[in-house]
Amino acid sequence: MRRLSIFLFLIFYMTSCSMFGGSDGYFPEKKYDFLEEKVEEDIALPGSLSNPNKENHYPVIDLELLDEQLEIPKPRQIFASSGNSSVQLRRLGELMWIYIETLPSTSWPISKNYWDTSIYEVISADPNLGEIEIDFDTNSVLKMKVEHGIKEASTEIFLYQVSKTDDLIQSNPEFIQSELEKIVDYFASSISNFSGTSLAAQNLNEMKKANIFTQDGRTVIALDLNFDRAWSAVSRALTAAEIVTNDRDRSSGIFFVSYAKEEDRGLFGLFGGKSDINSSEVVFGEESQFEIIITQENDKSYVRAISKDGNIEESEQLLSKINESLS
């Protein structure tokens, strides 16, 4: 009897499904109805009425005019990441460059992708040297150089217009600035989507512009920069670290700095923070004064810190803070 009841229930259930949901049921499926739809002619309006004011978000372009009217979009980025990186256009005289807080091996594929999706032809791209050459016009080429920056895990990008005739760099700052601004915009919108790295450009990560070595028991920062850029970089680092500059002698390459006189500021009161009684760091007294000296030798610049009272440990602390703030 039990089996008979189950059997009758199953028959009723299946006929019910067919009755309600089948093609001839009360509620037939509608998901394929669109296949039978037809495009009708537009409504003919009487002369007293005008066509409604509407925007066509998906216009169909005549295939014959495709090449003239359609701009090919940039491809979807292949990396994904969270977090933001700083992208800035910097200038020192006629020298301009892009500063990016990310490794060159990450900046390289973005830079190459920028030119690959542009209207210009890429003549060559060498990830080992970080160089991209672009055929710009009949008289000149553009050369982009991707380098490691002064700061750890940073990139600097330079762009030059070079004559095809004599291979000399052409001075055209307004044009270079305009092109770099476009690249900055591209990086700003792309950098958050890139967290990957180019294996081919790993070599660029090792070519750092700032290195530290010891000479006669004192720490020295070596910068792979000319004097003008080194002076500017150290000046910016002092400001960023909130180190008080009393005076400067550019012709001799010296910054005169000292302890800030606000109360409760010790070593890193000098650098803008509050002193910590439990800190093992050296605490500067109010009379602590230093000279930050920049010298140039063989196309490199060297940064040294000297305490006026001869305290080497304090000088080392100060130079370390400057090194952290270089960018």
Residue among 128, 155, 130 nearest 145 (CA): 130
Mean pLDDT of the chain: 78
Q: In the predicted model, is pLDDT for residue 273 greater than 50? A: no
Q: In the predicted model, is pLDDT for residue 58 greater than 70? A: no
Contact 114, 188 (CB under 8 A): no
Per-residue pLDDT reduced to its tens digit, 62-98 = 555 555 544 444 333 222 223 345 889 999 988 999 9
| Range 211-249 burial, b when 16+ CB lie within 10 A, else e | eeeeeeeebbbbbbbebebbbebbbebbebbbbeeeebe
How far apart CA 14 and CA 141 sit, in angstroms, is 75
> Environment class of residue 265 by beta-carbon count within 10 Å: exposed (0-12), middle (13-18) or buried (19+)?
buried
Residue predicted with more confidence, 25 or 131? 131
Contact 176, 96 (CB under 8 A): yes
Report pLDDT for 79. Answer: 28
Per-domain residue ranges of the chain: 87-205, 209-325
Report the share of the chain in percent with pLDDT over 90: 46
Q: In the predicted model, is pLDDT for residue 185 greater than 50? A: yes
Q: Do domains 87-205 and 209-325 have the same CATH topology?
A: yes
Report pLDDT for 57. Answer: 46
Report pLDDT for 327. Answer: 87
Residues β-bridged to residue 89: 98
Residue predicted with more confidence, 289 or 286? 289
Residue 177 sits at the vertex; the CA angle it makes with 325 and 209, to the nearest 5 degrees, is 30
Q: Which tokens is 275 given?
A: 């002193």
Contact 235, 228 (CB under 8 A): no
Q: In the predicted model, is pLDDT for residue 278 greater than 80? A: no
How far apart CA 185 and CA 42 sit, in angstroms, is 43
The stretch 275-293 carries a mean pLDDT of 58
Contact 156, 184 (CB under 8 A): no
Report pLDDT for 118. Answer: 92
Listed range (38-47, 59-68, 147-156, 186-195) with the worst mean pLDDT: 59-68
Contact 108, 130 (CB under 8 A): yes
CA torsion, ordered 185, 190, 191, 197, to nearest 10 deg = -130
Listed range (4-8, 124-128, 166-170, 298-302) with the worst mean pLDDT: 4-8
The stretch 132-143 carries a mean pLDDT of 95
Give the number of other Cβ atoms within 10 Å of residue 99's Cβ. Answer: 18
3-class DSSP state for residue 151? coil
Predicted TM-score (pTM) of the model is: 0.65
Pick among 3.30.310.170, 2.60.120.1140, 3.20.20.70, 1.10.3080.10: CATH of 209-325: 3.30.310.170
Report pLDDT for 190. Answer: 81
How far apart CA 325 and CA 234 sit, in angstroms, is 9
Residue predicted with more confidence, 317 or 56? 317
Residue predicted with more confidence, 201 or 9? 201
The stretch 189-194 carries a mean pLDDT of 73
Give the number of other Cβ atoms within 10 Å of residue 209's Cβ. Answer: 21
Report pLDDT for 226. Answer: 93
The stretch 28-57 carries a mean pLDDT of 65
Report pLDDT for 164. Answer: 93
Q: 């500021």: which residue's tokens?
A: 265
pLDDT category of residue 44 using cuts at 50, 70 and 90: confident
In CATH, which superfamily holds the domain spanning 87-205?
Answer: Fungal kinase associated-1 domain (3.30.310.220)
Phi and psi (nearest 5°) for 160? -130, 145
